[in-house]
Structure 1
Amino acid sequence: MWGWLALAVGAEVTATVSLRASDGFSRVLPSLITVAGYALAFYSLSQALTRGMNLGIAYGVWAAAGVAIVALVGVFFLGESLTWTQAGGILLIIGGVLALELGGAPARA
């Protein structure tokens, strides 16, 4: 199920970056990649859920990973800036998802 979730994150990130490149859906290839990427992302997320992943965990990881990766793609490949405050916000999002995941772990004896 984690493989499906990783595929969902990758497809969502690809679709989001392509959305920027689509120039308001005026460019055909990036527009097609955007639509296909989001379709694959939602299908993959549904497969992770079908295989037993908790909704809160799946959505939290999907959203946090997507935000972090898209922000880094913007910085390293699209010439966008990232302030220390924004970087701290991304770390807080990731920390929140980790707390969600670890907080749901069964206690060990």
Structure 2
Amino acid sequence: MKSWIFLSVAILTEVVATSALKASDGFSKLTPSIVVIVGYVLSFYFLSLALKGIPVGIAYATWAGLGIVLITAIAWVMYGQKLDLGALVGMTFILVGVVVMNLFSNVTPH
């Protein structure tokens, strides 16, 4: 269970960092730029901790898939990004893929 908490923290810090990347305006704004750097460092650190108990394929699929969906939702709310039917269907497929891998995969950690 601890590995899944680490993975959740990795996902959340990556989402914060990626959201701040837009606000950093090409690293020309100091505070968002610092948030980006710290967020990505923390994200990879917690991902490395999660990999001690979760197979790398499962962890990365979960990290990337949920990150995509969360970032898209934030872009919709904060930046007015429009989501068309294709985007919504694609994100649904991503979420279904993550769920299927987590529920039905027999992959075991090293």
Same fold (TM > 0.5): yes
**1:95 alignment counterpart:** 96
- Rounded to whole Å, the distance in 1 between the matches of 2:5 and 2:103 is 19
**Any unmatched runs of 5+ in structure 1?**
none
Select the residue among 14, 17, 22 that pairs with 2:16.
14
- Rounded to whole Å, the distance in 2 between the matches of 1:8 and 1:38 is 9
The residue type paired with residue 7 of structure 2 is L
TM-score, normalising length: structure 1: 0.92
Cα distance per residue 1:60-86 (max 9 Å; x no partner): 000011000000001112111111110
The residue type paired with residue 34 of structure 1 is V
The residue type paired with residue 93 of structure 2 is L
Percent identity between the two aligned chains: 38
**Any unmatched runs of 5+ in structure 2?**
none
* Deviation at residue 105 of structure 1 after TM alignment: 4.7
Select the residue among 39, 42, 53 that pairs with 1:40.
42
SS in 2 for 1:9: helix
* Deviation at residue 7 of structure 1 after TM alignment: 0.2
- Rounded to whole Å, the distance in 1 between the matches of 2:106 and 2:96 is 15
**1:55 alignment counterpart:** 56
* Deviation at residue 94 of structure 1 after TM alignment: 1.1
Instruction: List 4+ stretches of structure 1 deviating above 2 A.
Output: none
The residue type paired with residue 97 of structure 1 is V
Q: How many aligned residue pairs are there? A: 105
- Rounded to whole Å, the distance in 2 between the matches of 1:102 and 1:93 is 14
**2:65 alignment counterpart:** 64
- Rounded to whole Å, the distance in 2 between the matches of 1:17 and 1:98 is 24
SS in 1 for 2:89: helix
The residue type paired with residue 77 of structure 1 is M
- Rounded to whole Å, the distance in 1 between the matches of 2:35 and 2:5 is 21
**1:86 alignment counterpart:** 87
